[in-house]
Every structure is written in structure tokens, then in C-alpha cells.
């Protein structure tokens, strides 16, 4: 069947959009200064982790160990102006290649220009896991089958990507009243979540999912639900240098990589990103980030969101569910085996 002129034009525009993002990434590479470049140790077949961080000294020990246990062999990290010991901690990790920059996070498309450059330069041909430091990736059987087993199965299925929804975790009681120390399991402090109340739709022209809901939507954006944070991501991709993330890891190009869902009634495999944003540090961090204005395109529109976070909110409600096992999460439809095992 011949494609309609409108579809051909949309495909043409997306190709040029991808090329622009790649060109931006190539230009922004000059903003990254290598502090410890250990990429020469990367071997064929290694699973790689990518992240941009700022002042994450508290989260990083568990973040790195969790993903090491899953099978990430090497981490490529950009430190954007940390002053809390993050830089020294990362520089001391033998499986981390570290770049530092003082450039604007917002001007780099919220770090995605930097990530696209590192993925282009070092990720080609590898399975790459791109995450924020407050995200812990899990998937069905993650406690017994590592990422190598998962990605080998995805290769056999002809799936070059795996989607995951962000699941916001929170404590019972005011979020700032549950102290957490570096190296501890954050799930010991954050073990509640919203089991339902999520809206999902497919966005055009890229065909990516758009999921909203959870505690942030009900607590901070009930009056303006369309401003609620986006929860869908495509964090795990067998990378090619021509690929590019568009909007964080919510979508990417070419658009076929956004097809993390099925349309025939069956289920595609998917994971979850356990979102540890609501550690006790979120209260002070909200004040800092509100002043910096680096996290939203129009930061003033989110002042009420930041104000609410600085008031040490309690996100627990009678419908909250306690976090237990991945099988329970799967039974609620929050992730899926999709035929794996």
C-alpha cells in the first residue's frame, strides 16, 4: 500500500528532526570535559549505563550497585556542576567514565544533548540503559535473570528496545521525616505507591506512549492534570549512532523505537523505573531547583509544584499500596513479561 502524502511528509520531518538532534549533540560535545575516561575498557557485548547527575552523592552508591547487580558493565556519566562530593565519588569508581560540565542543563535540552553525544560516540552496537540517578530499573525476573539474559531474549524477538513506566515511591507520612543515608536501600524508606489511576494515550506523529498519573498528579496537579509529569520512558535500547532521544527518555527517533506496546490485544514486555525522588532530600532540593530554574522549559509555571514540595507533603492516601515483589507489580498491570519465560 502506498503511503499517503501526509504520512510521507511527517516521516520526512521526523528524519530532519533526528538529524538536528544529532547535530546538536555533536556541537554540545565541547561542553563536556573528560575527568576520567575509561571507555577503552569497554568490551564488545558490554551493557552500558548512561546518566546526567547533579548533587547525587546520597543516591549514587545504591544506584550504581543496583545496576551493577543487574549486569551493567560500565557507566558513562555527566556531572553537571555538583558540589556535594558527587564528582570525587564517581571519579573513584573503576567502572565509571566521567565527564564534567558547568554548562546549562536546560540549554542542553535537559542533558539530552550530552547523552545523545555519549550514546553516539560510545553506545553504538551496545544495549544501553539511560537513567536518572533517582530511577532504579527492574523487570520481570530481575531477581534471578540479569540484563544479559533479558537483552539476548529481546534480540531473538527482534525487539531493539524495552519500555518502562516510572513508578513514584513515597513513605507514609511527610516525605522529609524519613532520613536516608548513602548506601542504604532507598526502598526501605520508600515503600508505598499508587496502584491505579494512570491515564495512557498514544501521541502522534512519533507514536510514543504518554502516561500520566500517580501521587504527583493527584497531589500537585489535580487542577491541571495535563501538566502532571510524564511517566513513560524507553530506557533500554540496543543503540545505533543514528538514534536520538527527543524528550528525556520519554521518546526517541526513529519513531519505530517508540513502539513499546502491541496493538493486537497482546502484551509487550515492559519494566518499571522505581522512582526514588521522594527521599527526605526532596524538600531542600526543591528550594534549590526552584531558584535555579533549570528543570522545566517554563519554570515559573511550576512554582506551585515546588512550593508544595518545600512544605514537606504527605503523599500517602488510603488507596496507597505497599511495595512487595515484582510479581505483585506485574499482577497489577504495571509491567509485563510479554512472553519472556
pLDDT digits (tens, 9 = 90+) for 119-135: 999 999 999 999 999 99
Using one digit for the tens of pLDDT, what is the confidence trace for 234-287?
Answer: 999 999 999 999 999 999 999 999 999 998 889 999 999 999 999 999 988 877
pLDDT score at 187: 96
- Is the pLDDT reported for residue 94 higher than 60? yes
- Is the pLDDT reported for residue 117 higher than 80? yes
- Is the pLDDT reported for residue 290 higher than 80? no
Q: Compute the mean pLDDT over every residue in the chain, rounded to the nearest whole number.
A: 93
pLDDT score at 294: 53
49 in Cβ contact with 72 (< 8 Å): yes
Once rounded to an integer, what is the mean pLDDT over residues 186-213? 95
Q: Catalogue all structural domains in the chain, each as residue range(s) with its CATH number.
A: 5-331 (3.90.550)
Cell of 333: 498491570
Q: For residue 170, report the phi and psi dihedrals to the nearest 5 degrees.
A: -155, 160
Strand partners, 136: 274
pLDDT tier at 9 (50, 70, 90 boundaries)? Answer: confident
- Is the pLDDT reported for residue 111 higher than 60? yes
289: three-class secondary structure by DSSP: helix
Percentage of residues of the chain with pLDDT beyond 70: 96
- Is the pLDDT reported for residue 300 higher than 80? no
Cell of 213: 498519573
276: three-class secondary structure by DSSP: coil
Quick one: CA torsion of 179, 181, 183, 186, rounded to 10 degrees? 10
Distance of alpha carbon 9 from alpha carbon 268, whole angstroms: 29
- Is the pLDDT reported for residue 296 higher than 70? no
Strand partners, 2: none
Place of cell 535473570: 145
pLDDT tier at 299 (50, 70, 90 boundaries)? Answer: low
Amino acid at each position: 500500500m502506498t503511503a499517503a502524502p501526509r504520512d510521507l511528509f511527517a516521516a520526512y520531518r521526523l528524519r530532519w528532526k533526528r538529524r538536528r538532534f544529532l547535530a546538536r549533540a555533536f556541537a554540545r560535545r565541547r561542553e563536556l570535559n573528560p575527568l576520567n575516561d575509561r571507555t577503552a575498557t569497554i568490551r564488545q557485548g558490554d551493557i552500558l549505563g548512561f546518566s546526567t547527575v547533579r548533587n547525587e552523592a546520597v543516591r549514587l552508591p545504591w544506584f550504581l550497585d543496583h545496576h551493577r547487580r543487574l549486569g551493567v558493565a560500565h557507566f558513562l556519566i555527566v556531572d553537571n556542576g555538583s558540589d556535594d562530593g558527587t564528582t570525587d565519588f564517581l571519579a573513584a569508581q573503576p567502572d565509571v567514565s566521567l565527564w564534567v560540565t558547568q554548562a546549562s542543563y536546560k540549554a542542553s535540552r535537559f542533558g539530552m544533548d550530552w547523552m545523545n553525544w555519549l550514546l553516539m560516540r560510545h553506545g553504538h552496537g551496545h544495549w544501553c540503559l539511560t537513567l536518572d540517578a533517582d530511577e532504579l530499573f527492574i523487570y520481570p525476573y530481575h531477581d534471578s535473570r540479569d540484563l544479559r539474559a533479558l537483552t539476548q531474549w529481546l534480540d531473538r524477538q527482534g525487539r531493539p528496545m524495552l519500555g518502562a513506566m516510572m513508578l513514584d515511591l513515597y513513605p507514609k507520612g511527610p516525605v522529609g521525616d524519613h532520613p536516608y543515608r548513602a548506601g542504604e536501600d532507598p526502598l526501605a524508606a520508600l515503600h508505598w505507591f499508587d496502584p491505579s489511576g494512570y491515564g495512557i494515550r498514544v501521541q502522534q506523529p512519533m507514536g510514543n506512549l504518554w502516561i500520566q498519573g500517580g501521587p504527583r498528579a493527584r497531589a500537585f496537579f489535580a487542577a491541571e492534570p495535563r501538566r502532571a509529569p510524564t511517566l513513560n520512558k524507553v530506557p533500554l535500547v540496543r543503540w545505533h549512532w543514528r538514534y536520538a532521544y527527543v524528550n528525556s527518555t520519554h521518546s526517541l527517533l526513529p519513531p519505530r523505537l517508540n513502539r513499546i506496546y502491541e496493538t493486537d490485544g497482546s502484551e509487550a514486555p515492559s519494566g518499571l523505573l522505581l522512582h526514588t525522588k521522594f527521599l527526605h532530600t526532596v524538600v531542600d532540593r526543591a528550594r534549590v531547583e526552584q531558584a535555579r530554574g533549570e528543570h522545566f522549559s517554563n519554570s515559573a509555571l511550576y512554582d506551585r509544584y515546588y512550593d508544595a514540595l518545600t512544605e514537606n507533603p504527605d503523599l500517602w492516601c488510603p488507596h496507597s499500596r505497599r511495595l512487595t515483589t515484582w510479581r505483585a507489580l506485574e499482577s497489577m498491570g504495571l509491567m509485563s513479561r510479554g512472553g519472556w519465560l
